[in-house]
Amino acid sequence: MPRYRRPTGTLDILPEDQPHWDHVRNRARHLAELAGFERIDVPMFEATEVFARSIGAGTDTVDKEMYTFTDKGGHSLTLRPEFTAGVMRAFIENGLHVRPRPLKLYSVGATFRYERPQAGRYRQFAQFNAEILGEQGADADVEIMMLVWDLYAGLGFQDLAFQLNSTGCPQCKPVYVSRLEAHYAGYPDTICKDCVRRLTLSPLRVLDCKAAQCQPVIGRAPHFLDYVCEECAEHFATLRDYLDLLGREYVVNHRLVRGLDYYTKTVFEVWAAGIGAQAAVCGGGRYDGLIELLGGPPTPGVGVGVGLERIILVMKSLNVPVPPLPAPRVFLAHLGTAARREAVRLANAFRGEDLATWMSFGDRRLRSQLREAGKRSADFVVILGEDELAQGVASVKEMATGDQVEVGLVNLIGWLKSRL
Ligand code: HAM
């Protein structure tokens, strides 16, 4: 048993897993930049209030899952449970509203939630996050949705479909909420304790309840889409039209409400098999009132957060190939102290010329060094021995053919470069 173990709900991403990570991050960045998104990095922690106000008291994220601590200056800080709130804080603080609209921003990095760990659910996880600020049309919503669709499709995901719903706006939300409350008032003894609490704090969340006793009540609950105002209905219809135009599958899911309070109009998720029951590989939507709520100028917004660990789990379950780690092109083998000294010099010179070089360490037999060169998939092995050094040459072995030639040390870099 090791004396120290990683904290519950965290992962070590070992070197052999890095190709998957690089591939996913590179694809996400590439697709975002193709659509004109610019990168923004925000701190890993913010004043607790930034998250509490944005995500909303009464949500599981704020009430149960935040890593909140008081720093030595007595300030309450929280490790970011998501990107959106911090990006909005940065938008306001840096006066980004004066830039040409819309502003398209993406981020990648670690996020933290104190959740019960299980397959695909961690306490530290990585998100790719994208936001479009300053545009209220459904064309911005569809652009965000296409960004994640293209990411998943390009990574080999199959049977993709969006889960889609609308959570209205400040005009129609109260109307629907009072209908929902009236419906639930008919079942005071049936529903679970959590839903009793949700009804007072965050009523839409009752639709998301997993307790068996609540399912019949949810099944008979009114649908938000039957209560949305004209503007929200039109926005939703336009979005559906764009999705139909592009031939993207979606399911209108009347139970989809999302776990964060800032959403207005569109909400969506993509679920994927291979990670456990109904795990979302991304979730997002529109949040037209959030920037104002945080003290900024009224600015509509829409965005998405993508869980990277979950993507990688799906890719592994589908055996999606990824580009391998780059192998060293040149392996430097040496025999004897003087040769090792020359190897140190050459390794430095090769790398200075951008040649990926693995230098053998220590004092080992040539056979074992050649075996290692094979394991590391080097293209050429440069062998330095005392005799070679005395003549100012090295033996160079091409691993694919087994051919071996002598090359003058002064010409070595040029010789290797012309062949790699
Ligand atoms: P979210 O649905 O809370 O939305 O998280 C987005 C994604 O992060 C989820 O779909 C999931 O893939 C991943 N995720 C969430 N929690 C965990 C966890 N404990 N372990 C592993 N993966 C997890 C947001 O965070 C919003 N900020 C998205 C957004 C951006 N909405 C508008 N803009």
Q: Tens of pLDDT along the chain (420 residues)?
A: 899 999 999 999 999 999 999 999 999 999 999 999 999 999 999 999 999 999 998 788 998 999 999 999 999 999 999 999 999 999 999 999 999 999 999 999 999 999 999 989 999 999 999 999 999 999 999 999 999 999 999 999 988 999 999 999 999 999 999 999 999 999 989 999 999 998 988 899 999 999 999 999 999 999 999 999 999 999 999 999 999 999 999 999 999 999 888 999 999 999 987 776 568 999 999 999 999 999 999 999 999 999 999 999 999 999 999 988 888 899 999 999 999 999 999 999 999 999 999 999 999 999 999 999 999 999 999 999 999 999 999 999 999 999 999 999 999 999 999 998
* CB 381, CB 365: distance < 8 Å: no
Among protein residues, the one with the nearest Cα to ligand 1's atom 25 is 82
Among protein residues, the one with the nearest Cα to ligand 1's atom 31 is 284
The length of the chain, given as a count of residues: 420
Q: CA-CA-CA-CA torsion for 14, 18, 19, 20, nearest 10 degrees?
A: 90
pLDDT of residue 310: 95
- The Cα 65–Cα 70 span in angstroms is 16
Residue matched to tokens 């009347």: 254
Q: How far is CA 217 from CA 166, 185, 196, 197, 282, in A?
A: 20, 10, 13, 16, 27
pLDDT of residue 110: 98
Closest CA to 246 of 313, 334, 314, 160: 160
pLDDT of residue 81: 98
Residue 412's Cα: distance from chain center in Å? 43
pLDDT of residue 278: 62
Q: What's the CATH superfamily of 15-172+228-317?
A: Bira Bifunctional Protein; Domain 2 (3.30.930.10)
The three-state secondary structure class of 104 is strand
Q: Is the CB of 129 under 6 A from ligand 1?
A: yes
- The Cα 360–Cα 29 span in angstroms is 36
For ligand 1, what atom is nearest to the CA of residue 122? 20
pLDDT of residue 277: 56
First and final C-alpha spacing in the chain: 45
- The Cα 166–Cα 172 span in angstroms is 11
CA of 146 to the centre of ligand 1 (A): 17
Q: Which helix (H) or strand (E) covers residue 109, if one does? A: strand 103-112
Question: 403-410 long-range contacts, Cβ below 8 Å, gap at least 24?
Answer: 409/342, 409/346
pLDDT of residue 57: 82
pLDDT of residue 291: 98
Q: Is the CB of 113 under 6 A from ligand 1?
A: yes
Q: Is the CB of 259 under 6 A from ligand 1?
A: yes
Q: Which residues contact 310 (CB under 8 A, 6 or more apart)?
A: 120, 272, 275, 279, 280, 281
CA of 314 to the centre of ligand 1 (A): 16
Q: How far is CA 252 from CA 166, 210, 358, in A?
A: 9, 19, 55
Evaluate if pTM is beyond 0.85: yes
Pairing label, strands 393-398, 380-384: antiparallel
- The Cα 18–Cα 23 span in angstroms is 8
- The Cα 372–Cα 18 span in angstroms is 22
Domain with CATH 3.40.50.800 in the chain: 330-419
pLDDT of residue 202: 87
Burial 308-341, CB ≥16 within 10 A → b, else e: bbbbbbbbeeeebebeeeeebbbbbbbbeeebbe
Pairing label, strands 162-166, 264-272: antiparallel
- The pair of three-digit structure tokens given for residue 306, joined into one six-digit string: 């993508």
Closest CA to 391 of 407, 370, 405: 407
Q: Is the CB of 28 under 6 A from ligand 1?
A: no
Q: How far is CA 131 from CA 40, 86, 269, 341, 406, in A?
A: 10, 12, 15, 54, 58
Domain with CATH 3.30.930.10 in the chain: 15-172+228-317
Residue type at 208 in one-letter notation: D
Residue 94: CB atoms within 10 A of its CB come to: 11
Taking domain 330-419, whether its CATH number is 3.40.50.720 is answered by: no
